[in-house]
Amino acid sequence: MKLEVFKTANELYNYVADLVVGRIKSKPDLVLGLAAGATPGPLYKKMAEIHRHRGPSFSKIKTFNLDEYVGIDKRHNASFYRFTKEFLFEKTDISPNYSHSLNGQASDFAIECRDYEDQIQKAGGIDLQILGIGQNGHIGFNEPGSPKSSRTRVIELSKETRSKIPKELFTNQNIPEKGVTVGVGTILEAKEIILIAVGEAKSLAIENCFSGVESATWPASYLQSHHNVHIFCNLQAAKGLKNLPVPR
């Protein structure tokens, strides 16, 4: 596990955006796993800026969104598909034919989840998975208690996760009770993983997930056994960790 700490979030995002775009340059048909939410938003913005100003083309990459709320339409304000569409797909030349996402309104989630796993396999597996982290240590919607071997599935959202969902996104509808997510086992099969944490609110999760112990109570802690994982934090998010590297 490689941990890098940055003095500011802006420096972190510049560094990670260059890294991800560099991966696309070296492998134009990169298979990229995409988290949504406040954390990766600035990363996708910067990737789109780099793409616009100096290339490369993203037209051959394949993307797989990590998760979605169950019961909501792709066009809904809170949809993770819509988020990645607005932050990344519409701002680059990523092909709609190559951008995959889980359908939160699937009529049969067993089939939906199995098909998604098959599509990832058919694409050759995820080359690079981008992750944020929940304050309870979730990755994707793999909530505390998720097994290390879990695959893509529907999951009950925890009280804590539901309490963090911005209510204004759900004016005419209740906050979802379930999500559909790529599993921990599926995430761990990615060839490379980048997890980003910014802000003090994430510091307890970072401390519990990356201090050596692996447990289902803090799902991101499973990442410690992955052979190629980079954790990028700003100073606030990393404040609970011992033996911090010199901040960039």
Integer CA distances (angstroms), 21 to 45, 66, 95, 116, 219, in order: 12, 19, 16, 25, 28
Binding mask 44-73 for ligand F6R (x = CB under 6 A): ----------------------xx------
**Is 134 among the residues that bind ligand F6R (CB under 6 A)?**
yes
Integer CA distances (angstroms), 186 to 119, 159, 223, in order: 12, 24, 12
User: At 140, phi and psi to the nearest 5?
Assistant: 55, -140
Residue 67 appears among annotated catalytic residues: yes
CB of 58 to ligand F6R, least distance (A): 19
Residues with Cβ within 8 Å of 242's Cβ and at least 6 positions away in sequence, in order, are 211
For ligand F6R, the binding residues in 136-155 under the rule CB under 6 A are 138-140
CB of 83 to ligand F6R, least distance (A): 8
Residue 138 appears among annotated catalytic residues: yes
Residue at 246: amino acid letter: V
DSSP symbol at 204: H
Residue 11 appears among annotated catalytic residues: no
For ligand F6R, the binding residues in 87-116 under the rule CB under 6 A are none
Q: Are 174 and 199 in contact (CB under 8 A)?
A: no
Residue 227 appears among annotated catalytic residues: no
User: For the chain, how many helices (H) and strands (E)?
Assistant: 7, 10
For ligand F6R, the binding residues in 23-42 under the rule CB under 6 A are 35-39
**Is 179 among the residues that bind ligand F6R (CB under 6 A)?**
no
Spatial distance between the Cα atoms of 226 and 243, rounded to a whole number of angstroms: 20
Q: For ligand F6R, which is the closer residue by CB, 59 or 215?
A: 215
Bridge pairing between strands 67-69 and 178-181: antiparallel
CB of 98 to ligand F6R, least distance (A): 19
List 64, 69, 80, 218, residue binding ligand F6R (CB under 6 A): 80
Active centre residues (catalytic): 67, 136, 138, 143
Question: Site residues (CB under 6 A) for ligand F6R?
Answer: 35-39, 66-67, 80, 132-134, 138-140
